[in-house]
Amino acid sequence: MKFIISGGGTGGHIFPAVAIANEIRRRLPDAEILFVGANGRMEMTRVPEAGYTIVGLDITGLQRRLTPQNLMFPVRVFRSVRKAGKLIEQFRPDAVVGVGGYASAPVLLAATSRGIPSLIQEQNSYAGLVNKLLARRVSKICVAYEGMEKFFPADRIVLTGNPVRTEIAHGSRAEALKFFNLDPAKKTLLVVGGSLGARTLNLATAAALPRLPEAGVQLLWQTGKLYFPEAQRQAAPYATDNLQALEFIRRMDLAYAVADVVISRAGALSVSELCLTGKASILVPSPNVAEDHQTKNALALVSKGAAVLITDEHAASRLYDEALRLLADPERQQQLSQRVQELAHPDATTTIVDELFKLIAK
């Protein structure tokens, strides 16, 4: 059997796509899986690293101001739809999955116009533009949050949760302490700003470094590539206090296992991982995303008493006061942990692939 998985742009689109591909391959080891992404975006390197073939389309999004890119937009869309159509005809997939992002639009347009079973996976509590535009063309829409009827036809929605690597919830604390060379007697704070890093979180963390040793707190700080050199320099005087600036944490299963509290952006993937790992968290939604969807993701947890929300504009003044209060309050940590686990969908990936196979069977 053959499958095309299209979309990308950020880790929040790419990692769920890879999780779906892995589940297909687990069930059908001989399945052929082709990814389609946008040239120049991170999926063009991340997907091959995961062991899959990817083809790039020359497509970008519309800019919010008049630019040469915008003038070329209709031409890029036309070329991408034509290339996607040729890919569909040459590869002849049994089904197509779109995970959002620029590249999923041409592929899903080409697939649905040819009657190929197609499914959308929407990660956020506020639907992306591409998924909203294509909702009436596809057969199923797998969502991570309740109340998505305001964006999609209700009869096509399946509440599945987001595909998350299940191993992320099975890290060993003992192994993590050894891996990161941490002190088992100290509280551990994990700071993650998404796959690219987050300037607000990095500035607030750098300013708070002197406070952490006094509070008996050790730190795992994922800075992102752009901010790493400066963060490494800032953290260097506190190396003996176990305040570690790290460009990227590959063993997130161990980072979650050892963390008492997590400070994070509120991207869909991050929120789903926090639910699955059951971690007490402080969410600082990015203001630089479409339709402020990270705030909506965060509120889905906060409204259930499952996380703490600090706005981006208040992070400098309030974030670490709140973090240190939470680290000193095990009872509140436990309460947040219990409530966030109730929102987890550990079987999300298998449910989505079940839905995909049902479409093919029809």
Q: Which element (helix H / strand E) includes 322?
A: helix 315-327
Whether residue 249 is annotated as binding a ligand: the answer is yes
**Residue 286 falls in which region: left (phi positive, over 0), alpha (psi -120 to 50) or beta:** beta
Domain range summary for the chain, segments of one domain joined by +: 2-162+346-361, 167-341
The yes-or-no verdict on residue 243 having pLDDT over 90 is yes
Whether residue 294 is annotated as binding a ligand: the answer is yes
Cβ-proximal residues to 184 (8 Å cutoff; 6+ apart), any chain:
177
pTM to 2 decimal places: 0.86
Share of the chain above pLDDT 90, in %: 78
pLDDT (mean) for 100-117: 93
Whether residue 124 is annotated as binding a ligand: the answer is yes
Give the pLDDT confidence score for residue 60 in this predicted structure: 66
Q: How many Cα atoms are found within 13 Å in the side-chain-facing hemisphere of 209? A: 21
Whether residue 232 is annotated as binding a ligand: the answer is no
pLDDT band at 139 (very low <50, low <70, confident <90, very high): very high
Alpha-carbon distance of 59 to 85, in angstroms, equals 15
Give the residue among 261, 267, 299, 297 at the shortest CA–CA distance from 281.
261
Give the pLDDT confidence score for residue 73 in this predicted structure: 60
Give the residue among 219, 259, 193 at the shortest CA–CA distance from 12.
193
Whether residue 271 is annotated as binding a ligand: the answer is yes
The whole-chain average pLDDT of the chain stands at 92
Give the residue among 17, 124, 112, 103 at the shortest CA–CA distance from 61.
103
Question: Residue 61: exposed, middle, or buried by beta-carbon count in 10 A (0-12, 13-18, 19+)?
Answer: middle
Whether residue 11 is annotated as binding a ligand: the answer is yes
Q: Mind listing the pLDDT tens digit for each residue in 306-334?
A: 999 999 999 999 999 999 999 999 999 99
Torsion of CA 192, 44, 269, 145, to 10 degrees: 150
Pair of tokens at residue 343:
């929102």
Determine whether domain 167-341 maps to CATH 3.40.50.150: no
pLDDT (mean) for 266-293: 92
- End-to-end CA, the chain: 15
Q: Mind listing the pLDDT tens digit for each residue in 39-98?
A: 988 899 999 999 999 999 988 655 455 556 655 566 667 788 899 999 999 999 999 999
Fold matches, 2-162+346-361 and 167-341: yes
Whether residue 264 is annotated as binding a ligand: the answer is no
Whether residue 337 is annotated as binding a ligand: the answer is no
Pair of tokens at residue 335:
């309460």
- The CATH number of 2-162+346-361 is 3.40.50.2000
Whether residue 286 is annotated as binding a ligand: the answer is no
Q: Which element (helix H / strand E) includes 246?
A: strand 243-246
pLDDT (mean) for 291-305: 92
Whether residue 269 is annotated as binding a ligand: the answer is yes
Whether residue 10 is annotated as binding a ligand: the answer is yes
